[in-house]
Amino acid sequence: MNIYFIRHGETLENEKSTYYGNLNVGLNKKGVSQITKWATFFENKTINKVYISDTKRARETSAIILKKQSDLVFTDVRLNERNFGDFEGKTYEDILKFYPEKAKDWKNDWKNFRPPNGETFMEMYKRVCDFMEDLKKANYNNVLIITHSGVIKGALCYIMDNNPDLFWKFSCKNGDRILVKLEYDNLFLDSITHVD
């Protein structure tokens, strides 16, 4: 099975470098351009199923890539980005300024720290692992998953022997395409392709 991950295109929040997992924003002009480059690639692929997060930016990304094949698209909230709670819409500098003690706690235990009214990294990671476990049982040739940086990096940690400590060893930029393959019950990273 070929599992194509696409990170949604750029948004205004990406431009501002904010944390915004739960904010429902759409693509900006650059984001549309990034994703348009993948439309031709996927025109020549027979995609059996498409999974997207429950966000506007994922829906817009899928609409650009798939055009009128919306019957293939299934929303799965396990693919939603981490909810940063009260940190949503704020830059790291904002968090240092307005939540100095919370910022220290986050630095000291990044996996288990919970932003006020948000979720921990490990809670998001468990969602992603559950999704990947279910996907391994599916019988498809080509699957497309449109989601977010944290989710994709979490999925890569899962396939790397379920090691969340590797989270910071991967880059995932807007519009990136990551190909993961499942062969003989073994998941492995095949390629990471960036767009300009």
Per DSSP, the three-state class of 90 is: strand
Residue 95 has pLDDT above 80, yes or no: yes
How far apart are alpha carbons 29 and 98 in whole angstroms? 31
> pLDDT-derived band of residue 68, with 50, 70 and 90 as boundaries?
low
Q: Are 160 and 79 in contact (CB under 8 A)?
A: no
What does DSSP say about strands 177-183 and 2-7: parallel, antiparallel, or unpaired? antiparallel
Per DSSP, the three-state class of 186 is: strand
Per DSSP, the three-state class of 162 is: coil
The amino acid at 26: G
The mean pLDDT value for 117-140 works out to 97
The mean pLDDT value for 26-47 works out to 94
Q: Quote the DSSP letter at residue 141.
A: S
The amino acid at 11: T
Average pLDDT, the chain: 95
Residue 120 has pLDDT above 90, yes or no: yes
CATH superfamily of 2-193: Phosphoglycerate mutase-like (3.40.50.1240)
Q: What is the pLDDT of residue 72?
A: 86
> pLDDT-derived band of residue 195, with 50, 70 and 90 as boundaries?
confident
Length of the chain: 196
Query: For the residues of 28-60, what is the DSSP string, one character each?
Result: -HHHHHHHHHHHHHHHTS---EEEE-SSHHHHH
Distances (CA, A) of 29 to 12, 33, 47, 146: 9, 6, 26, 18
Model-level pTM greater than 0.75?
yes
The mean pLDDT value for 100-125 works out to 97
The b-or-e profile of 119-151 (16+ CB within 10 A means b, else e) is: bbbeebbebbbebbeebeeeeeeebbbbbbbbb
State CA 177 to chain mean position distance. 11
Residue with tokens 């599992």: 3
